[in-house]
Structure 1
Amino acid sequence: MLSDTQPKAEFAGECHAVILAGGSGTRLWPLSRNLLPKQLLVLGGEVTLLQQTVTRVLDAFEPSRIWIVTNEEHVFEVRKQVAAVRPELEAQVLAEPLSRNTLPAIMLGLEKVVEFNDAALAAVFPSDHLIGDDEAWINDLVRASQLAEQGYFLTFGVAPAKPETGYGYIALGESVGEGAYAVNGFVEKPDLATAEAFLREGTHLWNSGMFLFRARDFLRQVAKCQPELWEWWMAREETPLVQGYRDIPNISVDYGVVEKIDNIAVVQASFHWDDLGSWEAMYRLGDKDESGNVIQGDVLAVDCRNCLLISEGGKLAACGLEDMIMVQTRDATLSCPMPRVQSVKDLVDILRREGSQLVESHPTVVRPWGSYSVLEEGPHYKIKRIQVNPGARLSSQMHHHRSEHWVVVDGTAEVEVDNNPVVLVENQSVDIPKASQHRLANPGKVPLNIIEIQSGPYLEEDDIVRFDDVYGRVKK
């Protein structure tokens, strides 16, 4: 998918885009997991939310002025997805070594912006929102850029359509221009009574999480509000920003800067916006059948009304349900009344405290060389299906606690065990003893599929020591 459109926006000054492509999207569990968050999923369209965002941003910005910030866990998938939209954007993806919330991520993007021009404007966009009417979105950006040139820090607010308790709100002050207002304060996820009052009185807008500001003005505010982050920023010529990530505060841009400054204004959006932040939003935006149900996948629904029913696993059979959400994957099923949709995040928090892998990944995990799927596991054993893309190779590695047995299902495998190379084809196998250095590659032109049987006292993914890796994953 290529976007060949020429940018349409006529900003008041030089303007760059910073797209935030990290985050976990826990309210869309079990489809969204830490290793495959919602921006990397196809939701509400034919391509992923990230690809929709990149395509839209290309309508307003030159590719050389677009920066995508993600983290090391997602960087290879993000690069693959943005390259499918515009190949040169693959080099514009920046990787955080670990998540430190939105403020450090924005500063990582701003490092690239100020290399061009510290007087340039910067627009910050989440990668997991749905935007309708791109022309209106561009017009609102241009309007915001004019105010940013006057020294304002701009955010974008959306007129509430209902009393929503899952969004932050912006309190409106006096007008500062056409469709723009001073900000009188922020309210984070109010209770239902407060949200109903905001809707009734028309005094508040939903906070969209999009911003536009002059880069150097923003950084001055960081220096004033977050001296620890400023010290980290100022040392970047001696120490790259990513090297200091583990020691900096985990802090959002809203709490760290936006809520502490005075010259902030909000542009009321003239475009449709939805953050797809809950299953209720997926239901509301989905195509409904004659009974008001949104159904995706292998689902049998009998006498069900106004339900969201999704299956990415086996057959999901539902009978007599009303106003319910049921989402089934290969390894987990969510069942929740529609009015309790915000409680999904609480369920994920419980699973995380229990150390459940259901929060981390799907049975199928995407890697830069291909993917693997866990077929079965139990005490001291795990069975995987591994698919290696044509021409790809895994790292040279070893495991302290497990041995492996590989069987080629189809394709051709180049295997090296302790410097002994061998080529395997369909139905041939090889043993990988514990603590042996080994490597797997696909020299062919079709995908390589193997079955891997692991055995040992510890079988988690962190029992990998890498010696060489074409994807730069060897730890120094």
Structure 2
Amino acid sequence: MMSDLQNSPAVFAEECHAIILAGGSGTRLWPLSRNLLPKQLLVLGGDRTLLQQTVARVLEAFTSDKIWIVTNEEHAFEVRKQVSQIDHELESRVVAEPVSRNTLPAIMLGLDKVVGPNTQALAAVFPSDHLISNSLEWKQALEEASALAAKRRFVTFGVEPDHPETGYGYIALGESLGDNAFAVDGFVEKPDLNTAKSFVRDGNHLWNSGMFLFRVKDFLKQVARCQPRLWDWWLARERKPLIESYGQLSDISVDYGVVEKIDNIVAVKAGFQWDDLGSWEAMYRLGEKDEDGNVIQGDVLAMDCKNSLLISEGGKLAAVGVEDMIMVQTRDATLSCPMPHVQRVRDVVQALKSQGSQLVESHPTVVRPWGSYSVLEEGPHYKIKRIQVNSGARLSSQMHHHRSEHWVVVDGTAEVEVNNEPRILVENQSIDIPKAAQHRLANPGKVPLNIIEIQSGPYLEEDDIVRFEDVYGRVKK
């Protein structure tokens, strides 16, 4: 089997489809990850994002026409860009949720693309934000799981724990079914430390990897039994697209909604190395350490520091005499946390949300399908941005109810339209955009366009945009 797997780039091309879940809220690796840039879209090691690593791995076992990537609307453009860099055909295989509704509705949205005349089709579900090595063993586990799923078993993948981890869910194993397969006795969600230690000792518990493989027809039957309201929504797909009523669905995970309610579950013990990079402690554990046990990235000055994770992506981070600490600095936020309290980063994010802080939503630099913008400074009734527009890109035709804008071209050529009057601006030229004026910005040149935008008005948030026309399909109906 091993040689067959090694020689086949698409082990499951005919009978199995892959659904990659690329949503996420960007809470556990804050402040590096944010709602608009969750961890799967970040480069956290090597030269590819976690999403790109996942896509490249899945392409070793599936052809591109059997792969679907489900994300949410806010991330769709960045996801399409990243997956197209791995395989350009995958750009058209991205499905966007209008709102985030957790893993079960997202899987159903992907299955809508899979279901067809082949009622025996299998589907594998993969999170996009996990780190996996030993791809040959990963493909072997898929081969074993597909054989079980063809016999109408719902298969999950478990990883043998090598340390007590309180941030992961666990699978309780039952009787052996031969080879690496076991009946599942139950699931334990994020145990306390003493319980996690006992799980490592007893050998009867595996980390829950969040990957599944099942026969589509059998899975849908379980959805009908366990989640009748979701099933009604699914049946309505024959009359209208699922996405039209997607926002009315409950926020529910596939584990809670289906997996924990069925009894024909099998766990395949994985032989590959796995980590979901669910905390800064995991980033430290997997990182390359210096002679003092520190993992250091970016512009960091460390003096007499030991066993710490020190990351800077904005300015100099100077740390003196710290031990067993996590210190992560971006341009607009800094996290300082003792290693044993790493799971409380979620509490930090929740506290910031309750304060209405934009630090949860985005970085100072925000990527858009046409380029990016960076907030340089802001205060009461004003905001200053640096806007970069890619060559040939075009922003939407839009207006603002509450702000006026002043644009200064730093370099490049700007094609500007204000109230249907076009103009060309070059370096050091400027233009005023009055409040409520319909306007548009484009870059007709061969090099990036950079402008400085000064906003003024009583309300300056991004939701004060009325779009009239947009090449990226962002006009609200």
With the length of structure 1 as denominator, give the TM-score of the two structures: 0.98
Deviation string for 1:209-268 (max 9, x for gaps)?
000000111011000000111001000121111111111111000000000001111000
Equivalence map 1:294-443=2 (5 Å): 294-443=295-444
Equivalent-residue separation in structure 1 for 2:265 and 2:117 (angstroms) = 25
Q: Secondary structure at the match of 1:391?
A: coil
Partner in structure 2 of residue 183 of structure 1? 184
Shift of 1:118: 3.1
2:79 is the counterpart of 1:78: yes
Q: Which amino acid aligns with 1:80?
A: K
Deviation string for 1:94-125 (max 9, x for gaps)?
00001000000000110111136332100000
Shift of 1:6: 7.9
Change (3 A) 1:420 1:130: same
Unaligned runs of 5+ in 1: none
Deviation string for 1:108-153 (max 9, x for gaps)?
1101111363321000000000001000000000000000011100
Answer yes or no: is the 8 Å Cα contact 1:13–1:149 preserved in 2.
Answer: no
Equivalent-residue separation in structure 2 for 1:95 and 1:332 (angstroms) = 30
Equivalence map 1:160-199=2 (5 Å): 160-199=161-200
Shift of 1:25: 3.2
Partner in structure 2 of residue 475 of structure 1? 476
Answer yes or no: is the 8 Å Cα contact 1:7–1:58 preserved in 2.
Answer: no
Deviation string for 1:378-421 (max 9, x for gaps)?
00000000000000000000000000000000000000000010
Deviation string for 1:257-289 (max 9, x for gaps)?
000001111000100000011101111111111
Q: Secondary structure at the match of 1:28?
A: coil
Change (3 A) 1:116 1:277: farther
Equivalent-residue separation in structure 2 for 1:45 and 1:164 (angstroms) = 25
Answer yes or no: is the 8 Å Cα contact 2:26–2:37 preserved in 1.
Answer: no
Equivalent-residue separation in structure 2 for 1:326 and 1:391 (angstroms) = 40
Answer yes or no: is the 8 Å Cα contact 2:414–2:442 preserved in 1.
Answer: yes
Q: Which moved more, 1:101-110 or 1:189-198?
A: 189-198
Partner in structure 2 of residue 124 of structure 1? 125
2:241 is the counterpart of 1:237: no
Q: Secondary structure at the match of 2:177?
A: strand
Q: Which amino acid aligns with 1:177?
A: G
Deviation string for 1:324-378 (max 9, x for gaps)?
1100000000000111111111111111111110000000000000000000000
Deviation string for 1:46-69 (max 9, x for gaps)?
110000000000000010000000
Q: Secondary structure at the match of 1:330?
A: coil
Equivalent-residue separation in structure 1 for 2:325 and 2:54 (angstroms) = 30
Q: Which amino acid aligns with 1:334?
A: L
Answer yes or no: is the 8 Å Cα contact 1:35–1:74 preserved in 2.
Answer: yes
Partner in structure 1 of residue 106 of structure 2? 105
Shift of 1:314: 0.4
Shift of 1:13: 6.5
Shift of 1:24: 1.7
Answer yes or no: is the 8 Å Cα contact 1:153–1:212 preserved in 2.
Answer: yes
Equivalence map 1:241-260=2 (5 Å): 241-260=242-261
Equivalent-residue separation in structure 2 for 1:285 and 1:192 (angstroms) = 20
Partner in structure 2 of residue 159 of structure 1? 160
Partner in structure 2 of residue 454 of structure 1? 455
Q: Which amino acid aligns with 1:379?
A: P
RMSD: 1.2
Change (3 A) 1:264 1:34: same
Partner in structure 1 of residue 3 of structure 2? none
Q: Secondary structure at the match of 2:472?
A: coil
Q: Which amino acid aligns with 1:354?
A: Q
2:34 is the counterpart of 1:33: yes
Partner in structure 2 of residue 59 of structure 1? 60
Equivalent-residue separation in structure 1 for 2:321 and 2:199 (angstroms) = 36
With the length of structure 2 as denominator, give the TM-score of the two structures: 0.98
Could you list the structure 1 runs, at least 4 aligned residues long, displaced by more than 6 angstroms after superposition: none
Partner in structure 2 of residue 282 of structure 1? 283
Answer yes or no: is the 8 Å Cα contact 1:13–1:121 preserved in 2.
Answer: no
Equivalent-residue separation in structure 2 for 1:12 and 1:379 (angstroms) = 57
Q: Secondary structure at the match of 1:115?
A: coil
Q: Which amino acid aligns with 1:468?
A: E
Question: How many residues align structurally?
Answer: 472
Equivalent-residue separation in structure 2 for 1:367 and 1:117 (angstroms) = 39
Q: Secondary structure at the match of 1:77?
A: helix
Shift of 1:203: 1.4
Equivalent-residue separation in structure 1 for 2:147 and 2:44 (angstroms) = 33
Q: Which moved more, 1:49-58 or 1:168-177?
A: 168-177
Equivalent-residue separation in structure 2 for 1:104 and 1:43 (angstroms) = 28
